[in-house]
Amino acid sequence: MINTLSIRSYTRQTRGHSHDFHQIVLPLRGAINIEVGSYTGKVIPSECVVVKANEKHYFSAEENAKFVVVDTDLLPENVLHSSQIVFSISAPLLAFLEFSESQLRYQINPEVEKLMFDTFYKLLEQQNLFVQYDARIREVVAYIHHNFAKNLSVEVLADISCLSATQFKKNFKSQTNQTVTEYITKIRMQKAQALLLHTDSPIAIIAELVGYTDVSAFSRRFSKYFGIAPSKLKHV
Protein backbone atom coordinates (compact mmCIF):
# COMPACT_ATOMS: atom_id res chain seq x y z
CA MET A 1 0.00 0.00 0.00
CA ILE A 2 1.36 3.45 -0.96
CA ASN A 3 1.30 6.47 1.36
CA THR A 4 2.52 4.67 4.45
CA LEU A 5 4.90 5.45 7.28
CA SER A 6 6.82 2.57 8.88
CA ILE A 7 9.80 1.75 11.10
CA ARG A 8 12.49 -0.43 9.53
CA SER A 9 16.02 -1.67 9.97
CA TYR A 10 18.54 -2.71 7.34
CA THR A 11 21.49 -5.10 7.24
CA ARG A 12 25.21 -4.66 6.65
CA GLN A 13 24.83 -6.29 3.22
CA THR A 14 24.56 -3.76 0.42
CA ARG A 15 21.38 -4.22 -1.55
CA GLY A 16 19.97 -2.43 -4.55
CA HIS A 17 16.52 -2.04 -6.02
CA SER A 18 14.03 0.47 -7.39
CA HIS A 19 10.26 0.95 -7.08
CA ASP A 20 7.49 2.86 -8.83
CA PHE A 21 6.79 5.12 -5.84
CA HIS A 22 8.80 7.74 -3.97
CA GLN A 23 10.54 6.81 -0.74
CA ILE A 24 11.85 9.02 2.06
CA VAL A 25 14.23 7.51 4.60
CA LEU A 26 14.84 9.30 7.91
CA PRO A 27 17.29 7.70 10.38
CA LEU A 28 16.24 7.62 14.03
CA ARG A 29 19.27 5.77 15.39
CA GLY A 30 22.39 4.85 13.50
CA ALA A 31 23.31 5.83 9.97
CA ILE A 32 22.38 4.45 6.57
CA ASN A 33 24.93 4.14 3.78
CA ILE A 34 23.19 4.90 0.51
CA GLU A 35 24.00 5.38 -3.13
CA VAL A 36 21.28 7.12 -5.12
CA GLY A 37 21.55 9.53 -8.05
CA SER A 38 24.64 11.70 -7.58
CA TYR A 39 24.90 10.98 -3.85
CA THR A 40 27.05 8.32 -2.20
CA GLY A 41 27.56 8.49 1.55
CA LYS A 42 25.97 8.36 4.98
CA VAL A 43 22.66 9.78 6.15
CA ILE A 44 22.45 10.34 9.91
CA PRO A 45 19.69 11.18 12.43
CA SER A 46 18.35 14.72 11.82
CA GLU A 47 18.83 14.16 8.08
CA CYS A 48 16.63 12.78 5.33
CA VAL A 49 17.28 11.09 1.99
CA VAL A 50 14.75 11.21 -0.85
CA VAL A 51 14.61 8.38 -3.37
CA LYS A 52 12.37 9.32 -6.28
CA ALA A 53 10.23 6.82 -8.15
CA ASN A 54 12.13 4.37 -10.38
CA GLU A 55 15.56 5.52 -9.13
CA LYS A 56 17.93 2.61 -8.58
CA HIS A 57 19.47 2.85 -5.13
CA TYR A 58 21.81 0.80 -2.95
CA PHE A 59 21.87 0.83 0.83
CA SER A 60 23.26 -0.85 3.94
CA ALA A 61 23.31 -0.07 7.66
CA GLU A 62 24.25 -1.33 11.09
CA GLU A 63 21.83 -4.01 12.22
CA ASN A 64 20.72 -2.04 15.31
CA ALA A 65 19.96 1.10 13.31
CA LYS A 66 16.33 2.20 12.99
CA PHE A 67 14.69 4.37 10.33
CA VAL A 68 11.36 5.90 9.53
CA VAL A 69 10.55 5.00 5.93
CA VAL A 70 7.82 6.85 4.09
CA ASP A 71 6.43 5.40 0.86
CA THR A 72 4.38 7.90 -1.12
CA ASP A 73 2.96 8.36 -4.60
CA LEU A 74 3.39 12.15 -4.35
CA LEU A 75 6.12 14.47 -3.08
CA PRO A 76 5.58 18.05 -1.90
CA GLU A 77 6.58 20.62 -4.52
CA ASN A 78 9.54 21.84 -2.42
CA VAL A 79 11.00 18.32 -2.37
CA LEU A 80 9.98 17.20 -5.86
CA HIS A 81 11.70 20.11 -7.61
CA SER A 82 14.77 20.25 -5.39
CA SER A 83 18.13 19.16 -6.77
CA GLN A 84 19.09 18.01 -3.27
CA ILE A 85 18.86 14.35 -2.38
CA VAL A 86 19.92 14.58 1.27
CA PHE A 87 18.96 17.46 3.53
CA SER A 88 18.73 18.35 7.21
CA ILE A 89 15.28 18.21 8.79
CA SER A 90 13.70 20.59 11.27
CA ALA A 91 13.42 19.98 15.01
CA PRO A 92 9.58 19.71 14.89
CA LEU A 93 9.77 17.07 12.16
CA LEU A 94 12.40 15.12 14.09
CA ALA A 95 10.24 15.22 17.24
CA PHE A 96 7.25 13.96 15.25
CA LEU A 97 9.29 11.03 13.94
CA GLU A 98 10.21 10.03 17.49
CA PHE A 99 6.52 10.09 18.43
CA SER A 100 5.66 8.05 15.35
CA GLU A 101 8.16 5.37 16.31
CA SER A 102 6.51 4.97 19.71
CA GLN A 103 3.06 4.79 18.17
CA LEU A 104 3.98 2.25 15.52
CA ARG A 105 5.85 0.08 17.99
CA TYR A 106 2.94 -0.52 20.33
CA GLN A 107 -0.23 -0.69 18.28
CA ILE A 108 -1.67 -1.05 14.80
CA ASN A 109 -4.40 1.44 14.06
CA PRO A 110 -5.02 2.27 10.38
CA GLU A 111 -6.82 5.54 11.19
CA VAL A 112 -4.00 6.76 13.41
CA GLU A 113 -1.41 5.67 10.85
CA LYS A 114 -3.19 7.67 8.15
CA LEU A 115 -3.24 10.72 10.41
CA MET A 116 0.49 10.31 11.06
CA PHE A 117 1.24 10.08 7.35
CA ASP A 118 -0.89 13.18 6.64
CA THR A 119 0.82 15.09 9.46
CA PHE A 120 4.26 14.06 8.23
CA TYR A 121 3.40 15.19 4.71
CA LYS A 122 2.20 18.58 5.98
CA LEU A 123 5.38 19.06 8.03
CA LEU A 124 7.48 18.11 5.01
CA GLU A 125 5.66 20.70 2.89
CA GLN A 126 6.81 23.36 5.38
CA GLN A 127 10.35 22.01 5.53
CA ASN A 128 13.22 24.24 4.50
CA LEU A 129 15.58 22.12 2.44
CA PHE A 130 18.84 22.84 4.21
CA VAL A 131 22.01 21.78 2.44
CA GLN A 132 23.64 18.86 4.19
CA TYR A 133 26.43 20.13 6.43
CA ASP A 134 29.91 18.65 6.39
CA ALA A 135 30.66 16.08 9.09
CA ARG A 136 32.30 18.53 11.49
CA ILE A 137 29.40 20.98 11.46
CA ARG A 138 26.86 18.15 11.57
CA GLU A 139 28.42 16.97 14.85
CA VAL A 140 28.07 20.45 16.32
CA VAL A 141 24.49 20.95 15.12
CA ALA A 142 23.47 17.62 16.64
CA TYR A 143 25.19 18.59 19.90
CA ILE A 144 23.41 21.95 20.03
CA HIS A 145 20.00 20.35 19.51
CA HIS A 146 20.57 17.91 22.38
CA ASN A 147 22.32 20.34 24.75
CA PHE A 148 20.78 23.77 24.08
CA ALA A 149 20.17 24.34 27.81
CA LYS A 150 23.91 24.13 28.54
CA ASN A 151 26.51 26.88 28.31
CA LEU A 152 27.47 26.47 24.66
CA SER A 153 30.64 28.48 24.21
CA VAL A 154 32.36 28.80 20.86
CA GLU A 155 35.42 27.13 22.36
CA VAL A 156 33.45 24.03 23.42
CA LEU A 157 31.73 23.74 20.04
CA ALA A 158 34.97 24.34 18.15
CA ASP A 159 36.56 21.45 20.07
CA ILE A 160 33.68 19.17 19.01
CA SER A 161 34.24 20.17 15.38
CA CYS A 162 38.03 19.67 15.70
CA LEU A 163 38.55 23.16 14.28
CA SER A 164 40.08 26.31 15.67
CA ALA A 165 37.55 28.83 17.00
CA THR A 166 38.13 31.09 13.99
CA GLN A 167 37.78 28.28 11.44
CA PHE A 168 34.74 26.89 13.24
CA LYS A 169 32.87 30.21 13.23
CA LYS A 170 33.66 30.74 9.55
CA ASN A 171 32.56 27.22 8.56
CA PHE A 172 29.43 27.33 10.70
CA LYS A 173 28.30 30.66 9.22
CA SER A 174 28.99 29.60 5.63
CA GLN A 175 26.99 26.37 5.99
CA THR A 176 24.07 27.45 8.17
CA ASN A 177 23.85 31.10 7.06
CA GLN A 178 23.76 32.02 10.76
CA THR A 179 26.35 32.80 13.39
CA VAL A 180 26.76 30.32 16.22
CA THR A 181 24.95 32.69 18.59
CA GLU A 182 22.08 33.22 16.16
CA TYR A 183 21.65 29.49 15.66
CA ILE A 184 21.65 28.68 19.38
CA THR A 185 19.23 31.53 20.05
CA LYS A 186 16.87 30.25 17.37
CA ILE A 187 16.79 26.75 18.88
CA ARG A 188 16.27 28.12 22.39
CA MET A 189 13.55 30.55 21.37
CA GLN A 190 11.63 27.95 19.37
CA LYS A 191 11.69 25.59 22.34
CA ALA A 192 10.68 28.37 24.74
CA GLN A 193 7.76 29.38 22.52
CA ALA A 194 6.50 25.79 22.43
CA LEU A 195 6.78 25.46 26.22
CA LEU A 196 4.97 28.76 26.79
CA LEU A 197 2.12 27.82 24.48
CA HIS A 198 1.71 24.19 25.37
CA THR A 199 2.68 23.75 29.02
CA ASP A 200 1.74 25.29 32.36
CA SER A 201 5.35 25.69 33.42
CA PRO A 202 6.22 29.08 35.00
CA ILE A 203 8.33 31.42 32.89
CA ALA A 204 11.24 31.07 35.32
CA ILE A 205 11.29 27.29 34.80
CA ILE A 206 11.00 27.65 31.03
CA ALA A 207 13.88 30.11 31.02
CA GLU A 208 16.03 27.60 32.87
CA LEU A 209 14.99 24.74 30.56
CA VAL A 210 16.25 26.66 27.53
CA GLY A 211 19.53 27.77 29.05
CA TYR A 212 18.85 31.06 30.85
CA THR A 213 19.63 31.46 34.56
CA ASP A 214 18.43 35.08 34.51
CA VAL A 215 14.70 35.37 33.85
CA SER A 216 14.98 39.05 32.92
CA ALA A 217 17.64 38.27 30.31
CA PHE A 218 15.42 35.51 28.92
CA SER A 219 12.40 37.84 28.73
CA ARG A 220 14.40 40.53 26.93
CA ARG A 221 15.78 38.02 24.41
CA PHE A 222 12.36 36.46 23.83
CA SER A 223 10.68 39.85 23.37
CA LYS A 224 13.33 40.93 20.89
CA TYR A 225 13.11 37.66 18.95
CA PHE A 226 9.31 37.36 18.70
CA GLY A 227 8.17 40.94 19.29
CA ILE A 228 6.04 39.90 22.26
CA ALA A 229 6.88 39.38 25.92
CA PRO A 230 6.77 35.79 27.19
CA SER A 231 4.29 36.85 29.89
CA LYS A 232 1.87 38.07 27.22
CA LEU A 233 2.32 35.01 25.02
CA LYS A 234 1.58 32.84 28.04
CA HIS A 235 -1.88 34.36 28.24
CA VAL A 236 -2.74 34.46 24.53
**Claim to verify: residue 170 and residue 191 sit in the same structural domain:** yes
Q: Domain end: 72, 102, 131, which one? A: 131
**Claim to verify: residue 97 and residue 29 sit in the same structural domain:** yes
Residue 22: what pLDDT? Answer: 95
Q: Can you give the pTM of this predicted structure?
A: 0.60
Expressed as residue numbers, the domain containing 189 is 135-233
**Claim to verify: residue 98 and residue 182 sit in the same structural domain:** no
Q: What is the DSSP string of the chain?
A: --SEEEEE---SS-EEE--SSEEEEEEEES-EEEEETTEEEEE-TTEEEEE-TT--EEEEE-TT-EEEEEEES---HHHHT-S-SEEE--HHHHHHHHHHHHHHHH---HHHHHHHHHHHHHHHHT---EEPPPHHHHHHHHHHHH-TTS---HHHHHHHHTS-HHHHHHHHHHHHSS-HHHHHHHHHHHHHHHHHHH----HHHHHHHTT-S-HHHHHHHHHHHHSS-HHHHTT-
Residue 130: what pLDDT? Answer: 61
**Claim to verify: residue 96 and residue 26 sit in the same structural domain:** yes
**Claim to verify: residue 122 and residue 143 sit in the same structural domain:** no
**Claim to verify: residue 44 and residue 120 sit in the same structural domain:** yes
**Claim to verify: residue 160 and residue 95 sit in the same structural domain:** no
What is the total count of domains within the chain? 2
Q: Domain end: 131, 160, 175, which one? A: 131
Residue 132: what pLDDT? Answer: 64
**Claim to verify: residue 190 and residue 125 sit in the same structural domain:** no
Query: CATH no. for residue 162?
Result: 1.10.10.60
Residue 39: what pLDDT? Answer: 87
**Claim to verify: residue 29 and residue 122 sit in the same structural domain:** yes
**Claim to verify: residue 127 and residue 145 sit in the same structural domain:** no
Residue 129: what pLDDT? Answer: 66
Residue 6: what pLDDT? Answer: 86
pLDDT in tens, the chain (236 residues): 589 988 887 666 677 889 999 999 998 877 788 899 888 888 877 788 999 999 999 888 876 778 889 999 999 888 888 878 888 887 778 888 888 888 887 767 888 888 999 999 988 887 766 666 787 887 888 788 879 999 999 999 999 999 999 999 999 998 887 899 999 999 899 889 888 988 889 999 999 999 999 999 999 999 999 999 999 887 55
**Claim to verify: residue 10 and residue 108 sit in the same structural domain:** yes
**Claim to verify: residue 126 and residue 140 sit in the same structural domain:** no
Q: Domain end: 104, 131, 158, which one? A: 131
Query: CATH no. for residue 80?
Result: 2.60.120.280
